[in-house]
Every structure is written in C-alpha cells, then in structure tokens.
Amino acid sequence: MKLALKDARAFFAKPDPTRAGLLIYGPDAMRIAMRRQEVIAALVGPQGEEEMRLTRIPSSDLRKDPAMLMDAIKAQGFFPGARVAFVEDATDTVAKAIDAALKDWRQGDATILVTCGQLTPRSALRKMFEGHNNAYAAAIYADPPGRDEIEAELRKAGVTDIPPDAMGDLMDLGRVLEPGDFRQTVEKLSLYKHGDATPVTSDDIANCAPATSEASLDDALDIVAEGRFQEIGPILTKLEAQGVAAVRLCIGATQHFRKLHLAASDPKGPDAGIARARPPVPYKRKDRMLRQARAWGTYKLETALRLLTDTDLQLRSASTAPQMALMERALIRLAMMNRR
C-alpha cells in the first residue's frame, strides 16, 4: 500500500509491528537515512542492535545469497521484542528475494525494512510494496518539514516555550536547511536556552542558525534580484558543490521575492512593508532589499513569483530533467526580467 505524506509521518513515529514490511525511497539519501533510523528506533528501541534484534543486509550481499532475508525474518533471538531485517540501498536486482520473503512472512517474523534511491513507477520494488496488502511504500522527497515535525523535534530537544514569531522563524529555517543541519540547530538551541526560562526569541534562533548556509543563499539571491545574470552560473556551481539542492534554492528565492513584493506593494511605502516581513529582515540587509524592491516594482515581482511557483511545481514533479538546470534557467530568466 502507498503511504501518503501525512500518514507516513505518523507511521514513521509509531510503526505497526504487525505490518510485514516498509519500503522507503527517494532522491535524498540523508532524508532516507533519518527516516529509517526513526523507524528502527521505534520498533526495536535503543538496545535493539545490541540485543541482536536488528539484522542489516547490504543489497550486494542479498543479491549473492537471496536466502539471507528469509533466514533473517524467521530467526529467533535470545531477547524478546520486535525484530527488524533491514535491506540497505536496494535495487530491483533483489526484488525477487524480497518478494519471496514478503510472501512467506507471518505474524511474529521480523519487519522487513527496505531503503532505496529514487524509483520510477515501473520499478519492481515499488510495484511490489504498493500492491501488497500488508506492507507499505513511502516516498521521501526534499520537502521542508511540516509544523508537526518541527514541534516534534523541539519536544525531543526539550524546547517548549516557542512564541508564534519564533515558530515562524524556525519554519522558515526548516525550509532552507538540510534535515541534519536543522536537527543540529534545534539541539544547539536547546543547549543555548538551558537554564533560561524566557521564551525563545528570533535573536536566539539567529544566534544558533548556521551562518554560512544563509550567507551563501543570500549572495545568490542578491545576484538574481540585482540582474547580474552572468554571475548566476558560477555561484550555483559553488552551491551545488556544497550540497544545496535545487528545491531548497527555489524555496529560498520564493521567500526572498515574497518579501520584496510585500515591501513594493505596501500602501505606506517599501520601508513599512519590509518592516512587516516575517521573519524580520536583518538590519544589514534591509537597505539592499529596499533598493531591490523599488527597482522591481509590484507588477514584475508578481510575475517573478508566478515563475518561481511554476518552477517549484516542476521540481517536485516526476520530471526527469536535471533539477539544478531547471533552477538555473528560472533564475537567469528572473535576472533578465529586471534588466528590461
């Protein structure tokens, strides 16, 4: 069965051990790793691996010995509790071995957990799990964390007093940071506020957020907003080398141009509009963004936001086009738009 995003989040947090298996797949290896860690921890607990209730099976080993998975799900250990047979980096070459294990699975056997990279709808593994009546398939994409996920991370870190403005800042941060970086930021915030009973503020979050990631994105967005299209290619190459995904760049660009539109369309003037932006625009960037908003004007900013929305939808679709190339084309079109 196919798990929708909302249902998948609930299942990852509290997986059902009576289900035969779970397939987690998607283009982002870090997000896949975090989700399977969450599922394994929920099923076998912190001592599961020490108690030998977790069996790791590399895909290459399973390809050589297809009976490994069947042996793993049937094996009985010395310690009570749920067990997991984890097949890592699987491909369709091991689909027959996994299919045989799923067909022979019975209540009390180990849960079969399989992780993969991106799979097409024609993939044998994907068809197998989506068509099974007692197993799930969950696709993980480079979507920013939802409010419920962020709140769960905060509770886990012991950060509880989060006013609406600070929560908005965290949600914006979650849209531009990689999952691992965001989790580290929340942990850093927890240590930063240790022994401090006052509510979390935007300044607290800014002090804990990674400075380098935000600065590099700001540089790219300023280049686009100021029409310096010749510089777009080199800075995107640098960002891609640092691991910045095209979807993350699109989200950052959309946020930037929304703030410019807010400033340009405010009836009291750009200064009043930029002051209403949430999260607040840093003091050092305020004058620069005001100049950008005045140069673009409301009409061109609305056109820019439509272009970014279309690009975002294209990046999240099943298109096989290179994502960074799509993003680069959109940013060049934006930069040229402001030069007309």
What token pair was written down for 335? 């930069």
The span from the CA of 97 to the CA of 287, in Å, is 61
| Residue 43 neighbours by CB under 8 Å, 6+ apart | 15, 17, 82, 84, 111
Q: Sorting pLDDT into bands at 50, 70 and 90, what band is 179?
A: confident
Let me know whether 179 and 271 are in one domain.
no
Domain boundary, last residue among 208, 234, 252: 208
Whether residue 153 contacts residue 186, with contact meaning beta carbons closer than 8 Å, is answered with: yes
Taking the alpha carbons of 264, 268, 273, 274 in that order, is the dihedral positive or negative? positive
Let me know whether 237 and 328 are in one domain.
yes
Query: Whose CA is closest to 125, among 112, 111, 141, 110?
Result: 112
Domain boundary, last residue among 208, 228, 261: 208
Q: Does 212 have pLDDT greater than 70?
A: no
Let me know whether 121 and 156 are in one domain.
no
Let me know whether 113 and 69 are in one domain.
yes
Let me know whether 182 and 118 are in one domain.
no
Question: In 16-83, which ranges are E strands?
Answer: 21-25, 54-58
Let me know whether 40 and 152 are in one domain.
no
Instruction: State the total domains in the chain.
Output: 3
164 compared with 320, residue with greater pLDDT = 164
When the pLDDT of each residue in the chain is averaged and rounded to a whole number, the result is 88
Let me know whether 19 and 110 are in one domain.
yes
Could you tell me the CATH number of the domain that includes residue 36?
A: 3.40.50.300
Taking the alpha carbons of 294, 299, 305, 307 in that order, is the dihedral positive or negative? negative
| Predicted structure pTM score | 0.57
Domain boundary, last residue among 185, 208, 231: 208
| Backbone phi and psi for residue 119, each to the nearest 5 degrees, phi listed first | -125, 140
Distances (CA, A) of 145 to 140, 141, 142: 11, 11, 9
Q: What percent of the chain has pLDDT over 90?
A: 52
Q: Sorting pLDDT into bands at 50, 70 and 90, what band is 214?
A: very low
CA dihedral 324, 210, 162, 46 (to 10 degrees): 90
Q: Sorting pLDDT into bands at 50, 70 and 90, what band is 340?
A: low
Let me know whether 188 and 272 are in one domain.
no
Q: Does 284 have pLDDT greater than 80?
A: no
| Residue 294 neighbours by CB under 8 Å, 6+ apart | 264, 270
Cα end-to-end distance, the chain, whole Å: 51
Angle among Cα 319, 324, 329 to the nearest 5 degrees reads: 90
Q: Which residues, listed in sequence order, are joined to residue 139 by a DSSP beta bridge?
A: 25
**Quick check: bond before 282 cis, omega within 30?**
no
Let me know whether 121 and 162 are in one domain.
no
Let me know whether 204 and 220 are in one domain.
no
- Which pLDDT tens digit goes with each residue over 40-97? 999 999 888 888 899 999 999 999 999 999 999 998 878 888 999 999 999 999 999 9
Query: Whose CA is closest to 48, among 89, 25, 70, 17?
Result: 17
- Which pLDDT tens digit goes with each residue over 186-201? 999 999 988 888 999 8
Domain extent at residue 238: 213-338
Angle among Cα 331, 333, 334 to the nearest 5 degrees reads: 65
| Residue 219 neighbours by CB under 8 Å, 6+ apart | 235
pLDDT of amino acid 79: 86
pLDDT of amino acid 6: 78
Could you tell me the CATH number of the domain that includes residue 327?
A: 1.20.272.10
Let me know whether 199 and 324 are in one domain.
no
Determine which of 130-134, 220-224, 244-248 has the lowest per-residue pLDDT on average.
244-248
Distances (CA, A) of 199 to 165, 166, 193, 276: 11, 9, 9, 21
- Which pLDDT tens digit goes with each residue over 112-168? 999 999 899 899 999 999 999 999 999 987 677 778 888 888 988 898 888 888 888
Let me know whether 42 and 24 are in one domain.
yes
pLDDT of amino acid 72: 94
